[in-house]
């Protein structure tokens, strides 16, 4: 469930509009195909629910005040993932998720909608990101496109840090990672190989080296999670060691499954090149 104050804004929406929530500018849509909410802080999808379905994404009911980032939805981690800034001094997950973005275009078509966003200020000396978000009654698709406008090669990492709404974290199973090599961040980045498909029974923070599609099954719903431009799938949940902005009663209703480029598969861009990192989420009906 989304916070009640955000739910009230959506219920007051007919079509599309801009509004403010928790000190942030939001773009909201309530259309025949479903609902979509995007924060212009971070170009972050906060909520998506196709027509006739509950929301697919989780968001904390107690978000940090500005200029803190909102935990939930699909934060954009760029131009580095986690604490892997080049000089070791930058903010966690990079500056993109807290930056203000502008909504450059909203393209409507019969089935759904497509949004294009770019940062209001420059976030990197040579690289420039832009985001594309597509939504309709069958799927949610998010792209993070990085273009090189400089003069020397650049290495970077990033992620689409997706928080999925689940019935309970410990009920979740992931399909598509069996046999994948991983780094376990809870064990000092120890290497391992996934034996069978992972179930979530406690804290997990793993970087799986895999480009394959994953299916998330929480016992009530099955979501297919496909991706492009990524050879890392990050699976994260802190179990009982919840962040300060996540109350206990909400803490076991999310699981992060992230399309990422990490230390296992950093991106090298040469001048004039670009890279596309994307995730596509759709519902899979049970047999």
pLDDT, tens digit (0-9, with 9 covering 90-100), for 77-110: 999 999 888 877 788 899 999 999 999 999 998 7
* Listed residue (151, 202, 179, 174) closest to 258, CA to CA: 174
Query: E strands, 149-247, where?
Result: 154-156, 158-160, 163-165, 173-175, 181-184, 190-193, 204-209, 214-217, 222-228, 232-237
- Count of Cβ atoms closer than 10 Å to residue 68 Cβ: 13
CB 93 within 8 A of CB 84: no
Is residue 16 one of the residues assigned to a domain?
no
Res 286: pLDDT: 67
Task: Tell me what pLDDT residue 97 has.
Answer: 96
Please state whether beta strands 163-165 and 222-228 pair in parallel, antiparallel, or not at all (unpaired): unpaired
* Position 47 in a domain: no
Nearest Cα to Cα of residue 101 among 116, 86, 87: 116
Asked if the structure places residue 165 within a domain, the reply is: yes
Residue 107 is assigned to a structural domain of this protein: yes
Of the CA atoms within 13 Å of residue 153, those in its CB half-sphere come to 6
Query: Does residue 50 sit within a domain?
Result: no
Nearest in space to 177 (alpha carbons), one of 88, 257, 58: 257
User: Which residues does the chain have with pLDDT short of 50?
Assistant: none
For the chain, what is the domain count?
1
In sequence order, the β-bridge partners of residue 26 are: 19, 39
Task: Please report whether residue 17 resides in a domain.
Answer: no
Does a structural domain hold residue 35?
A: no
**CB 160 within 8 Å of CB 260:** yes
- Can you give the residue range of the structural domain that contains 178? 61-283
Kindly write down the DSSP assignment for every residue of 111-170, as one continuous string: SEEEEEEEESS--SSSEEEEEEEEEESSEEEEEEEEEE-SSS-EEE-EEE--EEE-S-GG
Residue 194: CATH number of its domain: 2.70.98.10
Is residue 40 within 8 A of residue 55, CB to CB? The reply is: no
Output the pLDDT for position 287: 62
pLDDT of residue 219: 94
């Amino acid at each position: 469930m989304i916070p009640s104050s955000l739910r009230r804004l959506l219920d007051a929406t007919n079509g599309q509009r801009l509004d403010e929530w928790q000190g942030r500018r939001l773009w909201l849509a309530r259309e025949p195909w479903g609902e979509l909410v995007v924060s212009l802080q971070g170009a972050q999808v906060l909520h998506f629910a196709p027509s006739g379905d509950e929301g697919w994404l989780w968001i904390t009911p107690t978000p940090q005040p500005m200029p803190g980032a909102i935990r939930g939805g699909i934060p954009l981690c760029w131009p580095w993932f986690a604490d892997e800034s080049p000089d070791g001094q930058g903010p966690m997950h990079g500056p993109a998720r807290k930056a203000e973005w502008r909504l450059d275009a909203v393209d409507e078509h019969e089935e759904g909608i497509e949004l294009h966003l770019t940062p209001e200020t420059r976030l990197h000396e040579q690289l420039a990101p832009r985001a594309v978000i597509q939504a309709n009654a069958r799927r949610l698709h998010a792209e993070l496109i990085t273009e090189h406008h400089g003069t020397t090669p650049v290495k970077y990492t990033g992620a689409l840090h997706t928080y999925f709404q689940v019935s309970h974290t410990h009920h979740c199973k992931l399909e598509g990672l069996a046999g994948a090599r991983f780094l376990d961040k809870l064990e000092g980045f120890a290497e391992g190989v996934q034996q069978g498909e992972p179930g979530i029974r406690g804290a997990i923070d793993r970087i799986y080296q895999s480009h394959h599609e994953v299916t998330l099954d929480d016992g009530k719903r099955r979501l297919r999670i496909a991706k492009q431009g990524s050879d890392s799938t990050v699976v994260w949940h802190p179990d009982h060691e919840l962040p300060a902005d996540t109350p206990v009663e909400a803490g076991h209703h999310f699981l992060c499954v992230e399309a990422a480029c990490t230390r296992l598969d950093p991106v090298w861009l040469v001048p004039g090149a670009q890279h596309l990192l994307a995730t596509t989420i759709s519902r899979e009906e049970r047999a």
